[in-house]
Amino acid sequence: MVEWIRLLVDDEALARALSDYALVAARLGPLTLIAPWWALRASPVLVRATVTLALTVAFGAVAGGALPVPSVPTTGLPLACLRESIVGTVFAVAASMPFWSLGWAGRLVDTWRGASLAEVLTPDGGERTSPLGDLYLMLGVVLFLAWGGHVLVLDAFADTLVAVPLGATSHAGSWPRVALGAAELVGSALAFAVSAAAPAAVAMVMTEMGIGLVARTAPQIPVFFMAMPLRAAVGLAIALLSASILVGEGVVWRAPVHAPVRVLSPLGSP
């Protein structure tokens, strides 16, 4: 209470507090908009603003109290907010990449089994549906929330306030290392998506070989129409069996916690 009264009567302290909160909001905003477990992109504006404001107040109190936040002049505040937005975007993308890789794996399987045929044949038609992609993504989000991973991600975000102080300038050579770490993370996510969809790929190749043999031995059979439900059933069955392996893959649930801090660590190093 005394601290709030001091802010009201001290213009310099009030300006410092508002600057701190603006920097926190700039870094935190991308996480509340990008992270799949928040699901704020389809939420009303009032809900998004309320969640972002509540987290900003919570982290702003930490940043303005226990942490040595550098003083940012008013003229340099827009550039500082831009830098914090970039840092927050890198953190949010790194924390969301494992879930996106699950969605990519599901989309690959849907493409192979024909569920996304409209998207393949008419990519400009605006049709972007992937039942398995949505299933894998939501399965990952539900298990992540049940594990309490969102709390650990917020803890990791608080750690970045210490490792990469708000408003602090970074060495020019640190950003290329951040870009390299982000590229490695994207490569790992793509590799995981392909490996997660690999069992379905093998099953679909074997199915296509069987369909080809039937077409060669009995040309009068309408193989194209017969193969459509067969592809869908085989792909769905293998995808559901593979989901049990993904559930037990602990690296998927640890990556959103550790990956953002690892990617941003060069910004805090001298």
pLDDT score recorded for residue 253: 61
Q: Could you tell me how far CA 172 lies from the centroid of its own chain? A: 26
- Looking at residue 109, its pLDDT comes to 84
Question: End-to-end alpha-carbon separation of the chain, Å?
Answer: 37
Strands (E), 72-218: none
What predicted TM-score, i.e. pTM, was given to this entire model?
0.78
The pLDDT of residue 206: 85
Number of H helices, E strands in the chain: 10, 0
CA angle 116–99–33, rounded 5-degree value: 100
pLDDT score recorded for residue 56: 86
What local confidence, expressed as pLDDT, does residue 121 receive? 56
In three-state form (DSSP H/G/I as H, E/B as E, the rest C), the secondary structure along 20-75 is HHHHHHHHHHHHHHHCCCCCCCCCCHHHHHHHHHHHHHHHHHHHHHCCCCCCCCHH
Query: Which pLDDT does position 1 carry in this prediction?
Result: 44
pLDDT averaged over 10-residue windows placed end to end, the chain, 270 residues: 48 68 86 79 75 84 56 66 87 88 86 67 59 84 83 85 75 76 85 84 83 79 75 78 68 66 68
- The whole-number pLDDT of residue 212 equals 80
Question: Exposed (0-12), middle (13-18) or buried (19+): which is 41, by Cβ within 10 Å?
Answer: exposed
Q: Running DSSP on this structure, what letter comes out for residue 164? A: S
Q: Where are the domains of the chain?
A: 2-268
Which pLDDT value is given to residue 66? 46
- Residue of 145, 162, 167, 156 lying closest to 94 (CA atoms): 156
